Amino acid sequence: ESTASDTELITGIFGRARVWKNKMAEKHSLVESKEEKQAEETSMSKIERELADLEKTYEGNIEEGIAYLGQSVYYISILENQHW
């Protein structure tokens, strides 16, 4: 069984999200301001790192990848099912 203390609230590539507390979650935090978030969104290296973290999770590495929980998982599944 897990509890809320097993999770972290961070700002990731999809905005604020609840994630499983692991090594990767410890490296992230909540963005403090709109300007800080805008700076992150325009940083290609930041976006590439976030996507690499997601890829680790998809490959089954939930200790070093971001493991989204709750609504974030729902939104990811919607995006994955889009036919672009």
Q: Residue type for 7, please?
A: T
Of residues 60 and 31, more confidence is placed in: 60
Give strand pairing partners of 46. none
Of residues 34 and 79, more confidence is placed in: 34
pLDDT at 59: 92
The DSSP symbol for 28 reads -
How high is the mean pLDDT of the chain?
78
pLDDT at 71: 64
Q: How many CB atoms lie within 10 A of CB 12?
A: 19
| 54 membership: H or E segment, kind and range | helix 44-58
Q: pLDDT by residue (tens digit) across 49-72?
A: 888 888 888 898 888 888 777 766
Residue extents of the structural domains in the chain? 4-80
d(CA 18, CA 42): 23
pLDDT at 12 over 80: no
Q: pLDDT by residue (tens digit) across 13-24?
A: 767 788 888 888
Give me the residue label for tokens 């800080």: 36
